């Protein structure tokens, strides 16, 4: 499949048109940003590692009936994907308090939640992705009630599958962010990526952070954290 013009450049990925109007090529970059673009940097080979880690999770979830936008992995950084009508929501699932939740509610980072918490944010860089609730989503027609029910059900199922799997790799899934889109038939499909860029992964024993917080908080050994996640999931040593 041939890459045509770039139709969208995000912070970590570029989407290219193809000769098929229903298909795009997603290219994974090494660029890293934090604080809605306030901090910029590069994480060596991040694009390659995030592509592989995302595919690993997408395959794991597909076996449990969760559909995703991938058609075919083309190479280390390029994936052929279905063009979806993206629901403009960031769906955050939290198992343990960290990051903005810890700050907002005055909780110590690492405090377990007694049940998974779903947060919704309106995907809008200019507004800084503000948190919204079900009423905002419905009133602003960001998604229908049926779509939101489906998104939340899929998000909770994904969380359960990932938490259980990651436990076997000595990784705690603290929180993560998902995005969904509608396919041509209006079906809700998992999109975007699942990687250390949009998940918080802590070593179960040492509680060492193995995710993008190492970049956001200048903790050092950023590449090593991504490599460690890839190694624990796939056995691949980079
Ligand atoms: O920053 P905060 O604590 O709200 O992030 C919660 C989770 O959502 C983290 O895993 C983070 O990586 C992810 N996230 C994201 N993209 C955003 C906001 C949060 O991937 N724009």
List, for residues 149-164, the tens digit of each pLDDT value: 999 999 999 999 999 9
Whether the CB of 183 sits within 6 Å of ligand 1: no
Domains of the chain: 4-80 (3.30.200.20), 84-220 (3.30.470.20)
Round the CA-based radius of gyration of the chain to a whole number and report it.
Answer: 17
Mutate to test the pocket of ligand 1, among 35, 131, 198 (most ligand atoms within 8 A of CB): 198
Whether the CB of 109 sits within 6 Å of ligand 1: no
Whether the CB of 99 sits within 6 Å of ligand 1: yes
Taking residues 97-114, what's their average pLDDT?
98
Instruction: Report yes or no on whether pTM surpasses 0.95.
Output: yes
Q: Is the pLDDT at 1 greater than 90, yes or no?
A: no
With pLDDT > 90 as the criterion, what percentage of the chain qualifies?
Answer: 98
How far does the centroid of ligand 1 lie from the alpha carbon of residue 99, in Å?
Answer: 8
How far does the centroid of ligand 1 lie from the alpha carbon of residue 3, in Å?
Answer: 30
Lookup result for tokens 């956001």: 216
């Amino acid at each position: 499949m041939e890459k045509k013009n770039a139709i969208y450049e995000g912070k970590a990925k570029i989407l290219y048109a193809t000769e098929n109007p229903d298909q795009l090529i997603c290219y994974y970059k090494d660029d890293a940003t934090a604080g809605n673009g306030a901090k910029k940097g590069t994480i060596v080979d991040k694009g390659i590692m995030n592509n592989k880690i995302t595919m690993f999770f997408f395959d794991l979830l597909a076996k449990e009936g969760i559909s995703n936008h991938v058609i075919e992995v083309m190479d280390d950084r390029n994936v052929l994907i279905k063009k979806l009508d993206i629901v403009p929501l960031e769906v955050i699932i939290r198992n343990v308090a960290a990051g903005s939740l810890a700050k907002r509610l005055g909780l110590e980072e690492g405090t377990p939640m007694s049940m998974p918490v779903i947060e919704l944010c309106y995907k809008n860089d200019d507004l800084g992705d503000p948190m919204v609730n079900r009423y905002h989503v419905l009133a602003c027609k960001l998604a229908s009630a049926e779509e939101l029910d489906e998104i939340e059900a899929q998000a909770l199922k994904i969380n359960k599958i990932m938490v259980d799997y990651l436990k076997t790799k000595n990784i705690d899934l603290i929180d993560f962010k998902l995005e969904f889109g509608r396919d041509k038939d209006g079906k809700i499909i998992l999109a975007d990526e699942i990687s250390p860029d949009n998940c918080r992964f802590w070593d179960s024993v040492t509680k060492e952070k193995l995710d993008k917080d190492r970049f956001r908080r200048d903790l050092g050994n950023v590449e090593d954290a991504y490599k460690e996640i890839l190694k624990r999931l796939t056995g691949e040593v980079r």
